[in-house]
Amino acid sequence: MSIPPYAPRPILSSPNRLWTEVRETAALAMPLAGFQLGYMLMGIVDFVMVGRLGALAMAGVGVGSAVWTAFQVIGVGLLLGLDPLFAQAIGARRHARARAVLRQGLVLAALASIPLALAALSLPRLFALANVEPEVASVATSYVHVRLWGLLPTLMTVAVRSYLQATQQVRTLVVAMVIANIVNAVANALLVFGDGSLHALGLPGLGLPALGVEGSALATVISTVVALAILLWRATRGRQPDEVEESAPLSLMLTALRVGVPVALQLLAEVGAFSAVTTLAGSLGSVPAAAHSLANTVMSFLFSIALGVGSATTVRVGYAVGREDAEGVRMAWLAGLLVGCGTMVFGGLLLFVAPTGIARLLTDDETVVAAAPALLRIAALYQVCDGAQVVSSAALRGAGDTWVTVYAYILGYYALGLPLGVVLGLVSQLGVVGLWWGLALGVTTAAMVLLLRFRIVSSRPIIRV
């Protein structure tokens, strides 16, 4: 049987093996990071468009987006359980098995979307319990209910993306995200403002109504469907004529769930910790809250790059596990650390040297510009640890070992980080700076635990998932 063009190249044992792995990881990580940044850009465009509708619309979309993220990360986490199955199958040159995993992954996406969608329908009750202002709750509910139409396409996109990154067809991911961003920007303008957007350009109207917040949500749904269509088109091509399809047994889905459930809990723990800090920062006043929001936006940008490196590390570790190459597993992890931490060192230096300039790029409010640099400098100090925890958790996922990551995040954020943040920020009255020192401790602790865990896992006999 001929080897498909996306088969991973074997890495021969040599003194340069680590640097060969570094090059392979970096080449795979760049388009994956671009995909992550493109997804982040879609959210920024949505917020900018809605921002022109007024404070109520912005507040409603802000609350709605936070709730949507909570629902989404559960489904995304479950689907990330497919990562090691794809990578290990390709590493073992079982390409038909990888396609069988994809079929089961799409079924899992459909099944996961049902309870999540049903849970989202209870939002009015949830907002009432949380004492959200009725006007804001109404806008947020409308926004999320429209976004629900994109839940299944979003989860299916995660499954197909995982397959394409394992088969190194990553250029398609970048193309799909570029097209999706263009569609999202155009659809936002047309659906949010209706004919008003055309009139502003001197064009005749088409009878389009201004849907406001719901229009922005619908634009995101449309762009997600477009991206999914492109990815599915690519994923269904490339099968070799002489290959025989494997069946897709239920055991594949159960294995994905065994790996994915802890990933979902890990993502929830991380989102929950940062949401808690955001809430606490909001209680300190508008300027600390705005400074926190600005710093968090910058961190999200750098974190997206780290996620790209992490995804590449998952694939490279999975390849090595698939071919039962113990040295390759360790090399893939070390290469991921070098690429990920090296990138974060550069980002950290930029934050430490020019925090005020970075703040001015995002706001012209001088009070916020004055408050943000302290947070950015704290963030600069833990960027290497952030890169290490992202890469190590991704490497563990590639090996199919995911439960310890949950414990690491609970220990780092909830047992140590948040309590320290409360003591420093609220009790000792360091304000939002104290809260960020708590985040620094949480990230550093999680990184140390995950580094130690992967050393233990990589010293054991290889077991495929």
Burial pattern 30-41, b for ≥16 Cβ within 10 A else e, equals: bbbbbbbbbbeb
Q: What is d(CA 432, CA 278) in angstroms, rounded to the nearest whole number? A: 9
Determine which of 33-37, 220-224, 261-265, 290-294 has the lowest per-residue pLDDT on average.
290-294
Q: What angle do CA 132, 133, 136 make, to 5 degrees?
A: 95
**Rounded average pLDDT over 51-65:** 80
Q: For residue 87, is pLDDT > 60?
A: yes
Which whole number is the average pLDDT over 325-330?
Answer: 93
Write out the two tokens for 289.
């809250």
* Separation between Cα atoms, residue 332 and residue 334, nearest integer Å: 6
CA distance linking residue 136 with residue 144, whole number of Å: 12
pLDDT in tens, 200-250: 777 777 888 888 889 999 999 999 999 999 999 999 886 655 555 666 678
Residue 400 has pLDDT above 90, yes or no: yes
Is 83's pLDDT higher than 50? yes
Q: Over the stretch 117-130, which tens digit does the pLDDT of each residue have? A: 998 888 888 777 77
Give the residue among 463, 170, 449, 164 at the shortest CA–CA distance from 329: 463
Percent of the chain with pLDDT over 70: 94
Cα angle 253-255-258, degrees, rounded to a multiple of 5: 110
Q: Under a CB-based contact definition with an 8 Å cutoff, are residues 211 and 191 in contact?
A: yes
Q: Write down the pLDDT at residue 258.
A: 94
DSSP 218-273: HHHHHHHHHHHHHHHHHHTS---TTPPPPP--HHHHHHHHHHHHHHHHHHHHHHHH
Among the residue ranges 188-197, 298-307, 325-334, the one predicted with the least confidence is 188-197
State residue 300's pLDDT score. Answer: 87
Band (198; pLDDT cuts 50, 70, 90): confident
Taking only the tens place, the pLDDT of each residue in 429-458 is 899 999 999 999 999 999 999 999 999 999
Say yes or no to pLDDT of 333 above 50.
yes
Q: In the prediction, which pLDDT does 403 show? A: 95
Average pLDDT of span 105-128:
89
C-alpha–C-alpha distance, residues 222 and 227, integer Å: 9
Q: Which amino acid is at 264?
A: A
Predicted confidence at residue 67, as pLDDT, reads 81
Lowest mean pLDDT among 170-179, 339-348, 365-374, 378-387: 365-374
Q: Which pLDDT value is given to residue 368? A: 87
Residue 247 falls in which region: left (phi positive, over 0), alpha (psi -120 to 50) or beta: beta
| Closest by Cα among 463, 397, 414 to 92 | 463
Tell me what pLDDT residue 47 has. 78
Q: Are 58 and 47 in contact (CB under 8 A)?
A: yes
Q: What pLDDT is recorded for position 7?
A: 54
Q: Each residue of 297-309: pLDDT tens digit?
A: 889 889 999 999 9
DSSP 171-211: HHHHHHHHHHHHHHHHHHHHHHHTHHHHHHTTPPP------
Rg of the chain (C-alpha set): 22
pLDDT of residue 317: 97
As a whole number, the mean pLDDT across the chain is 89
